[in-house]
Structure 1
């Protein structure tokens, strides 16, 4: 029995999100011959990086240049940057740069029309977005959530939302905080409403076999992977390998059309459960 090729369009907010949230799953799908297309909304220019890079005004260009290397590590077939400006995580949204808009200032319908065109052109079977909290709550991630929902409503694509079990994340953060200093974007109290309750998660994907590809995709984002300053990606890559494997060996998604699951129900082990067909 040959697996029918499917197309997965993964909509992400910033360069590096594709590696962090769903890199193992995407790498696994690509290795099985499925077509993976990365759509990245912003250039990440309002993120953090070493001071000299931030002061240069080139952070967005650098991060977009890193994205194809991450895509290659995951086996993605194409990368489509939408080229909006990063809206920043904290405080007021920065002023728009010349000739461009900060992502959250662009109406949902306008971006959804662009993404829906990509979904139709690719004949996508699955669209990946984010859960309603936008993961850890970045305003650009929340915007992606609403856009992906609008695209799903306008097309026949199946929507899945990248997430993580909130309860487990809180346990891990509290444990790690006892032995290591957390990055400054890891204030534990802010994570009590982050991501999704375990009962809402419909897909639990074992990606331990894909961790080398996931890690390579993370390392491709060198501007974010420098452990000399307090950035999430650098912190993650500095974890001992056994802890990295424990923390990132499983990826989680939810189907927003499903009701919360009871503890007795089994979760899907393959992203394509429900859409996957076989030929021959």
Structure 2
């Protein structure tokens, strides 16, 4: 069995992006650890905050509930401030993750990797999937931390842009209302969403864990993004969340439909 550390930018990112893989790994007996880079303090402010309760308090509690559902064994926090989207004033806050020294942050993460005896660490692709400054920073920090800690395997969570484009084209051809959704359009940093299929290495079937994913998203009830995903028609939710995709630098080119923790890749 392996210890797998998933690094995410904000509380709730684990639910939407890798909770299927996390739940699958935990169900197979692997030790699953989540590291959250920021405290999520610039997330949506819920209307029902109790006296003395902050957004950070709420989001930590929601993360605990989400990861209890997933089966995560431990949640660790790097405790940087949320940097907000590109161009926000929060980008320049002295405690923001995007302003943090990459080497210093990587050393903090590497200490967790060593403490956990991580066999695998999972970060984000080079532009953080959609260009959010904190997600881009996760890429740099996780990649460097894996080098420092000597972690055996390093993977990058991404999204299959090619598959999303095919789905979008099919929906438009069928006359469905897709609103302004266009996976080819520029995201927060000007790059399109995710990665083209030819850059991916793993397509992991997590359809067995769709209800876990729903429950993890429900746990982050204060956040409009999580609520919006849950409002998707069941068929669309299944289509969008049954597969999770990863890049594994150093592997031969070509996307494998399989499981990155299969017996032939662990041990």
- Same-fold call, TM cutoff 0.5: yes
2:117 corresponds to which of 123, 133, 139: 123
CA distance in 2, matches of 1:61, 1:169: 35
Would you say the 8 A contact 1:133–1:196 is kept in 2?
no
1:23-44 per-residue CA deviation (whole Å, 9 max, x = no partner) reads 0010011011111011001111
CA distance in 1, matches of 2:39, 2:165: 29
1:15-164 matches, within 5 Å, as 15-49=11-45, 58-94=54-90, 101-157=95-151, 158-164=153-159
1:227 corresponds to: none
Would you say the 8 A contact 1:173–1:188 is kept in 2?
no
2:239 corresponds to which of 239, 243, 246: 246
Range with bigger deviation, 18-27 or 148-157: 148-157
Asked if 1:6 corresponds to 2:2, the answer is: yes
1:119-268 matches, within 5 Å, as 119-157=113-151, 158-172=153-167, 175=171, 178-181=176-179, 189-191=185-187, 193-224=192-223, 231-261=224-254, 267-268=256-257
Per the alignment, do residues 210 and 51 of structure 1 end up closer, same or farther by CA in structure 2, a change over 3 Å counting?
Answer: same
CA distance in 1, matches of 2:80, 2:157: 21
1:276 corresponds to: 266
Q: What SS class does the counterpart of residue 90 from structure 1 fall into?
A: coil
Alpha-carbon RMSD: 2.6
CA distance in 1, matches of 2:165, 2:77: 32
Q: What SS class does the counterpart of residue 120 from structure 1 fall into?
A: helix
Would you say the 8 A contact 1:126–1:159 is kept in 2?
yes
Q: How many residues align?
A: 257
1:44-92 per-residue CA deviation (whole Å, 9 max, x = no partner) reads 1123355786xx9922221122101011010000111121110001323
1:202-250 per-residue CA deviation (whole Å, 9 max, x = no partner) reads 11110010111111111100111xxxxxx43222110111111111101
Segments of structure 2 that go 5 or more residues without pairing to the other structure are none
1:110-133 per-residue CA deviation (whole Å, 9 max, x = no partner) reads 111011111111111100100011
TM-score (norm 1): 0.83
TM-score (norm 2): 0.87
Per the alignment, do residues 173 and 51 of structure 1 end up closer, same or farther by CA in structure 2, a change over 3 Å counting?
Answer: farther
Structure 1 runs (4+) deviating above 3 angstroms are 48-53, 170-178, 180-183
